[in-house]
Amino acid sequence: MRNYWTCTPFADWIRGTPKPKSATSKDWKSWHKLAKTTHAVRYWIAEEFIDSVQKTINKPSDIVRDCTYYYRNRFTTRSNSLTAHKDDIKPGSWRDLGDRIFPCLFNELVNFVEVEKAQCQVIYSEDGKKKYPELSRSIFRLSNKRSKRAGIDYLTWETTLKCDDSETPTQQAKNAQEVLDLYNWYTITRKSRIDPDILSGLSAYYEGRDVLDLLDEKSTEEKDIHINLIYKSHDIQKTYTDEDTLMLKRLIDIRDALWT
């Protein structure tokens, strides 16, 4: 993260009007007007001249940085595409669009939590690098550093944010809770599902039986048992599919909050 020279104590000294650490857009507009009116020349030196000098000095490093970010965005982060984890869609295998949408979107949510949100622990925390050594970056930062622990910790902190001095959660806190709920559902709850054939008893029914014998069943009772188990397995699978659809809709509803 760049430290802008126009925001330093030296710039405040030249300008003669200290710059706020943070302010609303209305307050920023008022401050710029006040600072420019009070010391017009000094304001220009602090805000325009110093900024242009910094840009000139940093131009070589900016070119390297831009090339690095292009490489990362193009080949590592792949921010121009949606990707699925190899455990969900094996590389080289074919999947129809309808089968790609769900895993791709939720895999990107996992990346969002474990990479982007995790990096916030380093960017916005003084002891982040010590607490999460797995997030230490190389000089060119060509690879993603991942930390499930750091991502969850950051989201958990966001969920505690309140409006002013009240107990009302901020919108950021609500969004963080939703992201955390969806992440935990996909990585824990969904992955702990029992196969419909096993849960329904269909797999146990098939165990030790010859498929051709099942097709030639003559007992009406046996046929009914077989058909009922098949229907039960289908009902369980439909329940899973309906839950997937509901969670996917929730993910779509919160898409505007998925940024860092």
Per-residue pLDDT of the chain (260 residues; tens, 9 = 90+): 578 888 888 988 998 888 887 778 888 899 899 988 999 999 999 899 999 999 999 999 888 888 887 887 777 767 778 888 898 999 889 999 999 999 999 999 999 999 999 989 888 877 887 888 888 765 445 457 889 999 999 999 999 999 877 889 999 999 999 999 999 999 999 999 999 999 999 999 888 777 666 666 667 787 888 889 999 999 999 999 999 999 999 999 999 999 98
CA dihedral 231, 234, 240, 246 (to 10 degrees): -90
**pLDDT at residue 192, as a whole number:** 96
**pLDDT at residue 137, as a whole number:** 61
Contact 137, 121 (CB under 8 A): no
